[in-house]
Every structure is written in structure tokens, then in C-alpha cells.
Amino acid sequence: MPDESRRSVIAFLASVVCTSTAATAGVIALGKQVFDLTGRELDLGLIGLAEFAPAALLVFVTGPVADRHDRRRVVATFGCLEAVAALALAAYAASDPTAIGPIIALVVVFGTFRAFVAPASRALPSDIVPPVELPRLVARFSIAWQVSLIVGPVLGGFLYALDPALPFVAMAVLLVAGAGAALLIPTPARAHHDELDPPSVRDAIAGLSFIRHRPVLLGAISLDLFAVLFGGAVALLPAIADERLGVGAIGLGWLRASVGIGAALTTMVLAVRPAERHIGRTLLIVVALFGVFTIVLGATRDFAIAFVALAVLSGADAISVFIRATLVPLVTPPDRRGRVLAVENVFIGASNELGAFESGVVGHAFGAPFAVISGGVATLVIAAAWWFTFPQLRRLDRFPASPDAVDDAGPGPRAPRIAPTQPDAASLGP
């Protein structure tokens, strides 16, 4: 691999580790802070809704921005603005707060900046490596993300136990470091369109229209939306840890870290042996597995069982993320990736943040265990329904070699076989 490509990969992965660690540390601290203030599951859901709303409202702006401007600079600029919002959260946490209104307002501000970062950042891998190398980079990206899922929650839990403001200070520092790493990525070999006219409404909705007319793409993205929307158990972990398992901030941090441990172990396997065959069926099966262990999590009162259940369901989710993160860019033309990924970011936000709100509402009305168990059952129903609703997705055997290689009436032409990815001096990873 050329030195410039290797530098791009290293800088990109460094940016992912920093920004993802910041995000997960902040999530654990916010959840603990809000539940300590109110003791209501509904308020945990409101935090998720506050983060999701900007991505949904700005979807027709953030996608064109990612397509028309230098994606590295978009990531860096709005990443620094996220750091400012994190410092504001730190200042409020240090003021001995008694209300969650300012927290929600600051999360909305943070979510606004995050809405611009997400599609630009997620489009970068397909900018810096050729299509045949993308699955390997996605696997390494997933490892970086899963490492952050382990380190971030533990860091956030320990820092919160020392001082509620410290996790947000650490968050700001990491976000600035991530922005700096993004700027170290050499200029991708792609055309920018800053000189074009401002985006029109028709231009802005191109991503949504493209997804709607591609059953494989629509099926994969919407599966994640509805499955995690109802299976969003992680948002209720502060309540589960306190009321069901009897552990404090440090125990909560380890519970949240188990999500990263399970996913990291799975992703390491994917880095060595990427999924190459029966892509569609594998996606549907692992979503069903996610639902099964969500039910286990909601039913148990044992910390060890909860830890293992979270690790397994997150491992299943890691496979789902790997398949979707590889598939979506490969079936999308380069000049539409920002807009398509902006729409997908809303779907992901709906499944995560809006799913957190749904879990909070149900948990507030019927209790956290019922919310988690019913969500797992709903996830199983969704996986079964998508099996029959999207036969094109179910029949998909291999990742496509190009956007034109997917035949939505069937499995389509075969992509080149992906070579084994043992890390060495010539491999993609650092």
C-alpha cells in the first residue's frame, strides 16, 4: 500500500478512537448525572431524543455539506465545536445542578454539531481506500470504535466518581485531538464541489430517493432502524444497574464497557476473517441474536449474566454494523455518499437516540425490565418480517464490487474475493 494511503488510514483511525472515546465517556456521564438528578427512566430517554432531533431536522443540509466540501475540514471544524459544547456541559456539572433542562439544551447543541460530523466522517473510508480494500478498513474502523466502547465508559465512570465535571473536560480534550487527527489525513483523491451553486431541495433529497429505489440498501438500513429502535436496552443501563443489579457508577461503567468488549472481540475476528459469503442472511440472523440476548438482559438480576448478555448482543450488533458499513458505501456512487450517509445517520440516530427515548418512555410507564424484554421480542419480530419483506437482501451473497454490481432483482454479480487480512508491514492497519 502507498505510504500516503497508510498515513490516511492511521490518521483516520486515530480520529475515530479519540472522538468515539469522547462520545462514549460523555454518554455514561450524562446518563448517570441525569438519573442521579431525577431518578426517572423517562429523562434518560429525553437525552436520547435531544441528541437525535438535530440530525433528523438537518438531514437535507448535512449530507450536501459532506458531498460539496472537504470532508476532513468538516469533521475537524464541527468536532471543535462539539468540544465547546462539552466544556459547557462540564461547567454546568461543576455548578451543582438541580435541573436537567440546561443539560438537554446543551445536548441539542452538541447533537447539532454531531449531525455535520457523522456523514462526513463515515464517508471518509471510501475516499481514502479503493473498494476492494474497504471491508478491511471497515473492520479496523470497527475495532477502533469498539476499543472506544471499552475505554470510554470506564473512563467516564471513574472520572464521574471523582468529579461529575471531569468526564466532560476529558471529552473536550479528546474531541480536539480527534479534529487534529482528521486534518492529518492527506487530501483524498476525490472531486470537491465547493464551486457549485448552493444545494437545492432536489439535490438535498437525492440521498433519500436513492435509498428508496434500492431494496438492498433500504432493507439493510431500515432493519437497523427498527431493530435497535425497539431493542435499545443500553439507554436504560443506569436504571438497570441501580435498581436491578445494585451497582454504582463504576459498576455501570463496566457494564457499559462490556458492550465494547463483546463487540471488540467479534470485530477482531472480522478483521482476520471478514464476512464474505451469505451477507444478507448473516445480517438478518445476527439481528435476531441481538433480540434474544436483549431479552436475557431484561430478565436477569445477576451482574455476571447481564455482563455476558451485553457482550453477546453487542458482538451480534458488531457484525451487523460491519456488514452495513461496508455495503452502504459500495452500493452508493461517490458523489452521493454524503447525502446517503446523512440519511443513514438519521436512521442510525433514530435506532439509537430515538430508541433510547422509546425505552425511556416504556421504562417509565412499565419499568425497565419490561421495556428491555418487550424490545427484544420486537427485535425478533422485525428480523422475521424483514426476512420475507426484503428477499433481495436475504439473497445477497457477496459485497458488490461497485454501485452498478448490485442487481436488486437478485443476488447480483460477484465481487472479487477479499484477501486475508493478517496485519503486516504492508497491511491497511497501523
**Mean predicted confidence (pLDDT) in 141-164:** 83
For the chain, the straight-line distance linking the first and the last C-alpha, in angstroms and rounded, comes to: 12
Domain boundaries, the chain: 3-187+209-405
* Separation between Cα atoms, residue 24 and residue 38, nearest integer Å: 21
Predicted confidence at residue 105, as pLDDT, reads 92
Per the model's pLDDT, the better-predicted residue between 380 and 192 turns out to be 380
Residue 185: phi and psi, rounded to 5, are -70, 125
Q: What is the pLDDT of residue 49?
A: 77
The pLDDT mean for the chain works out to: 78
Average pLDDT value for residue range 279-295: 89
Asked if residue 199 has pLDDT above 60, the reply is no
Overall average pLDDT of the 88-113 stretch: 91
Encode pLDDT of 105-147 as tens digits.
Answer: 999 999 899 889 988 888 888 788 777 777 778 778 877 877 7
Range 260-285 average pLDDT: 81
Residue 19 in this model has a pLDDT that exceeds 70: yes
Instruction: Evaluate if residue 358 carries a pLDDT over 70.
Output: no
Per-residue pLDDT band for 22 (boundaries 50, 70, 90) equals very high
Whole-angstrom distance, CA of residue 331 vs CA of residue 402: 6
298 touches 369 (CB < 8 A)? yes
What was the pLDDT predicted at 373?
85
Overall average pLDDT of the 12-19 stretch = 91
Is residue 258 predicted with pLDDT exceeding 50?
yes
CA angle 371, 27, 97 (to 5 degrees): 100
- Residues 302-312 pLDDT 10s: 888 888 988 89
> What is d(CA 356, CA 306) in angstroms, rounded to the nearest whole number?
18
Q: Would you state the pLDDT for residue 356?
A: 63
pLDDT digits (tens, 9 = 90+) for 338-354: 677 667 766 665 556 66
Asked if pLDDT for residue 195 goes beyond 50, the answer is no
The per-residue pLDDT for 103 is: 92
Q: What angle do CA 172, 307, 170 make, to 5 degrees?
A: 10
Q: Of residues 91 and 227, which shows the higher confidence score?
A: 91
Specify the amino acid at residue 247.
V
* Reported pTM: 0.65
pLDDT at residue 233 greater than cutoff 50: yes
pLDDT at 286 over 80: yes
Q: Which residue has the higher pLDDT, 386 or 228?
A: 386
User: What's the CA gap between 35 and 43, in Å, rounded?
Assistant: 7
The pLDDT assigned to 374 comes to 83
Q: What is the pLDDT of residue 230?
A: 63
Question: What CATH number should be reported for the domain whose range is 3-187+209-405?
Answer: 1.20.1250.20
144-156: average pLDDT: 81
